[in-house]
Structure 1
């Protein structure tokens, strides 16, 4: 995935101003120049994209947890409605487990 002008302005320019050293090597994944700061060589664009992705996943995870709590706090007395509630709760739990596995695989 190539680097956009917006990412250059938003990510790379402040990094250069902070004293990070731009290297003459490029990231094989996105093509961005690699940087070195405090002895660590890294791709600022890939790190930024990863933080954004994790942030989005956390947001989805939080919404799923709110819905799960809402359903758990409003269990109906009718057995048919209760079964529907429990099926939805099970689906939400499965989604949450998948999100946890995705986070661990990063």
Structure 2
């Protein structure tokens, strides 16, 4: 995945102005120049994208938790409706577990 002009403006230029050293090597994943700052070599674009993805996943996780709480607080009395309710809750829990596994597997 290549870097966009916007990523160059928003991520790379400010980094260069902050005193980070642009290296003559490139990220094998996105093609961005690698940088060194405080003894650490890194790809600023991949780090930025990773933070964005984590933020988006956190938002999805929060919405799933809200829905799970809503369902838990409104259990129907009818047994068939209750079974449907519980199946949906189980699906939400499975999705949340997948998100947790993705977070841990980065």
Query: What band does the TM-score fall into relative to the shorter chain?
Result: over 0.9
Q: Secondary structure at the match of 1:28?
A: coil
Separation in 2 of the partners of 1:90 and 1:28? 40
- 1:77 and 2:66 aligned: no
Which secondary structure state, in structure 2, belongs to the residue aligned with residue 23 of structure 1? strand
Q: Which residue of 1 aligns with 2:97?
A: 97
Please give the TM-score of this superposition, normalised by the length of structure 2. 0.98
- RMSD across aligned C-alpha pairs, in angstroms? 0.5
Q: Once the two structures are superposed, what CA deviation does each residue of 1:55-96 show, in whole Å capped at 9, x if it has no partner?
A: 111110000000000000000111111111100000000000
Q: Which runs of 4+ in 1 moved over 4 A?
A: none
What are structure 2's unaligned runs of at least 5 residues? Answer: none
Aligned length: 106
Gaps of 5+ in 1: none
